[in-house]
A and B are shown apart, each in its own frame.
Chain A
Amino acid sequence: MKHFSVLRVISKLMIPVILLFALYVQFHGDFGPGGGFQAGVIFASAFILYALIFGVHLARRVIPSSATRILLSFGVILYTAVGIAGIIFGGNFLDYNVLGQNNITGQHIGILLVELGVGITVAATMITVFFVFASQES
């Protein structure tokens, strides 16, 4: 779809906005609707839009398959690491209270990191699934 100049220009304009909105949904999930899951999907949709317009080959140069594979596992590891950090600091698994100076700060840190882990894994999963589907030879 590279030859449609309207699609090309509009998607180039939209992609930064989509990425910014995804980050907003990610880090504003504590106060408004949203969170890691939704943010991950929106973040991935920017890459998918790029792949739809400019082709999977060029999109793979933006985010290579090795990067998505590392990010895929990094999100899950980050989530589990926050849980294990709870044990190390003297609480239970996934106990955020012990992560900060007081309970509220600990909960804030824990929720922020856990949501980030969910977001990274979801974004990497959606990008991987779409790219693998789209690069199948028909």
Chain B
Amino acid sequence: MAGFLDVVILVLMSVTAFSILRSRNLFGVVILSGIFSLLAASFYVLLAAVDVAFTEASVGAGISTLLMLATLAITHQKREKQHINTPIMPIIVVLVTGAALVYGTLDMPLYGDINAPSNQYLIQRFIEQSGAEIGIPNIVTSILASYRGYDTLGETFVIFTAAIGVLTLLGRGRTGNKAEVKQITSLETDEEKE
């Protein structure tokens, strides 16, 4: 049964991806990529990775869709620009890269393979010891927050830096600067009136 669901979700994902490729309506593309993320999240649930699915559903399907919609509202761009020349070089690059990636997956271990390197060393230690060392039922949380605390600290700093970057590029600064900005814009409109 799980195999059937896997196939259904993967087929739906490729249908969504091709519709994104075909569509020229940017609003539709944003909504379709949200649907793609939601399907990816359901696929992660089937792979028993609920924490990843949770993140994908909230960030991929939720926040990024919203931010793209906000961007569309600012730019007033409704349709993708038409390409005049046929993109032969990009198609060749994409096909070669895709073939290399498919060739790479041939060497990868099967899903859930007990002999796979990722299921052999640290994972066994985490499963056996984390109950005694951390005492928390969700092993993902104990790995994320305790064993890999440095990584999560780094990730938090990355998110912090992203917010600082957005504020520096788009933020209007503090209230003191706002008055200045208002003054400048009012001056400009006065000039336009003249």
Contact = CB atoms under 8 A, between A and B. Distances in A.
Interface of A: 25, 29-38, 41-42, 44-45, 48, 65, 69, 72-73, 75-76, 79-80, 83, 94, 96, 103-104, 107-108, 110-111, 114-115, 117-118, 121-122, 124-126, 128-130, 132-136, 138
A30 B137 CA distance: 7
**Which of B133, B138, B150, B164 gathers the greatest number of chain A CB atoms within 10 Å?**
B138
B145 A115 contact: yes
Contacts of B136: 30-31, 107-108, 111
A129 B153 contact: no
B74 A117 contact: no
Contacts, number: 134
If over half of B's interface residues share one DSSP class (helix, strand or loop), that class is named, otherwise mixed; here it is: helix
Pairs A-B, 5 closest by C-beta atoms: A33-B50, A125-B163, A104-B135, A94-B149, A41-B58
Given A32-B138, A107-B133, A115-B145, A37 B55 contact: yes
8 contacts: A30-B141, A31-B136, A38-B55, A48-B63, A72-B163, A121-B160, A132-B171, A134-B73
Secondary structure of the A side of the interface? helix
A129 B161 CA distance: 12
Interface in B130-164: 133-138, 140-142, 144-146, 149-150, 152-153, 155-157, 159-160, 162-164
Interface residues of B, number: 46
